[in-house]
Amino acid sequence: MSAVAQHTARKPAKTHAPSKGHFSPRRVFLCTLPLLVLMLWIVALSGLATAGGTATADQPARMAVQVPSSAKTANVVMLEMSIAVTRKGQGGHLGAVVRMRPSGGSAVEVGRVSIPDGSQSFQFNVSHALGQGAAGSAEVEVAVIDRGGGAPPSGAALSIGRAQIVTR
């Protein structure tokens, strides 16, 4: 055996006792910090997923839209929007009534739709709702209804995914 091997062989093995500082509050905080950031990111993104708000039987969803200046002279002014079912209620035939409220005006119903499930896109002619003085902004309102004529389905919820006004 070599001298180094003999010296190593005679040396007793050291045992490492666990130190008391493994779970200090600072270390726990530093280890959980990425998890906290991830949770905040998820909460922020979930807020964006329902950017237009959520409509329930008790309260409609509302979203502001910009009215292009070309709406004053356009032949047709359309509201393009998507509505998603976030919670399907008990019974009933889930639908929505869509209203448009121009700035400084009153709300006008522009259409009613049936929404079986998922997300669907719709187009509504809003020329009459905006009138000839259309400019600036308007508010879109979506309310939950039962297309069968009864009370809105309990527990149902809809959300406005996107809404924009286009001219043709």
- The upper half-sphere exposure of residue 15, i.e. CA atoms within 13 Å in the direction of its Cβ, equals 1
Average predicted confidence (pLDDT) for the chain: 82
> How much of the chain exceeds pLDDT 70, in percent?
78
Strand partners, 97: 112, 143
Q: Assign residue 131 a region: left if phi > 0, alpha if psi is -120 to 50, beta otherwise?
A: left
Confidence at residue 9, expressed as pLDDT on a 0 to 100 scale: 58
- Higher-pLDDT residue of 119, 110: 110
Going by pLDDT thresholds of 50, 70 and 90, the confidence category of residue 50 is very low
